[in-house]
Amino acid sequence: MKSKNIVFVHGLFGWGPGELGGMPYWGHAMEAFKEDFAVHEACCGPVSSFHDRACEVFAQIKGVPVDYGAQHSLNEGHKRTSKRFGGQCFVKDWSEDNPVILVGHSAGAQTCMQLQRLLAEDYWDCGSSAGWIEAIISIAGVLNGSTLPYLLGCDQSTGLLTGPVGHFLGKGVEVIGLAAQGPVKEFYDFKLDQWLGDKTPGNLEDLTSALSASRFAQGEDNLAFDLSLQGCWKANKQFTTHPDTYYLSFVTSQTRKEELFGRQVPEWGLNPLLALSGMYQGVFPGFNEPPIPGWGSGDLTAGKWQENDGAVSSISQRYPFTAGNHPVGGEGVLRREQLETGKWYWEKAEDSTGRRFDHLDVVFGCGLDNAMVEAHQALYRILCARLRDL
């Protein structure tokens, strides 16, 4: 591979370096790559849309102020720029000759896909192309959506966030607080300057009130909608699997099928932070009406979507399949003799480590369960070796 730089992109309710008292979002993952690559950790809005997050990642890699685009900002009703995210430059002379590898966890996977889409369009008029990204690695990526957003307030018919904004944000703060083993209500940063300006409220109640008065929750320019089946269907229709890029996906699962009722129930190893959401998805009965075209047959049936990792249906993590043209190379990544560009390859994370992972074990969750540390480290060591040999 030409790439010498690898950029890690966090998911929903994630955080960047130096936040939450220094607790690393990526656990031990980045350590595995430091001998072979220049490693960078991006920070982006934890509830911002794929588009806004991609713009923020671009600004950090390129070392320029963030620009969400004039037309996009006008259409969605927020500012075009933010004082955040600029001022640093991960990669000098970023180009097709000096491309990057992107690793995205959860919503970070589609953030990477959206960034490649914008680069292919030369969205920022800098002469960019899809070739500025040599590989996209999806770690428990929500590639086709999740049924979890409907528990957090998204409408099953439209995917729009119709429930209270405070419920959606509050659930994230609750999980983060338990993970950080302390209160984060007053200092967790949602990075929503484009919506609320420089004086973003510092506490959850005021933030919720301000967002409720904005267009944030009224439209599609937020991560709640983007992670619904409707949001990912729309994204996958716009995304392209480019012929010169590697696409590798790692699937996580921490439920098992209960034979009596045929539903999925959490394994004992599922992180307690994910117990409720894992149970909800494991018994998800389906929709009153099809949420996306094709729902109701094949892989788009409720039963196929019940196996999950506590946050995302396992079937959704393999490769984009609800819309768009995304060729598939097949199952098997780390021990496959040959990987071709322009095709998606996937495998369950347990296949190379012997341990099942939930949605958080592949990132900071390993720090909450010492038994997972060795498998967590092994997964990323093997991945690094695979990338090195391409």
**Tens place of pLDDT per residue across the chain (390 aa):** 999 999 999 999 999 998 888 889 999 999 999 999 999 999 999 999 999 999 999 999 999 999 999 999 999 999 999 988 877 899 999 999 999 999 999 999 999 999 999 999 999 999 999 999 999 999 999 999 999 999 989 999 999 998 888 678 766 666 665 555 555 445 678 888 999 887 666 667 787 888 888 888 889 999 999 999 999 999 999 999 999 999 999 999 999 998 777 788 999 889 888 999 999 999 998 899 999 999 999 999 999 999 999 999 999 999 999 999 999 999 999 989 899 999 999 999 999 999 999 999 999 998 878 889 999 999 999 999 999 999
Could you tell me if 208 and 192 are in contact, meaning their C-beta atoms sit under 8 angstroms apart? no
Three-state secondary structure call for residue 292: coil
Please provide residue 291's backbone torsions phi and psi, each rounded to the nearest 5 degrees: -75, -25
- Please name the residues in contact with 198: beta carbons below 8 A apart, sequence gap of 6 or more: 83
pTM for the whole thing? 0.95
| C-alpha to C-alpha distance for 72 and 50, rounded to whole angstroms | 12
Neighbours of 325 (CB within 10 A): 10
In the numeric block, the tokens 């919503």 are attached to 107
Please provide residue 41's backbone torsions phi and psi, each rounded to the nearest 5 degrees: -115, 110
| C-alpha to C-alpha distance for 45 and 52, rounded to whole angstroms | 8
| C-alpha to C-alpha distance for 305 and 193, rounded to whole angstroms | 35
The Cα angle at residue 23 between residues 21 and 28, in degrees rounded to 5: 160
Contacts of 374-377 with C-beta under 8 Å, sequence gap 24+, read 376/27, 376/28, 376/29, 377/28, 377/31, 377/32
End-to-end CA distance of the chain: 6
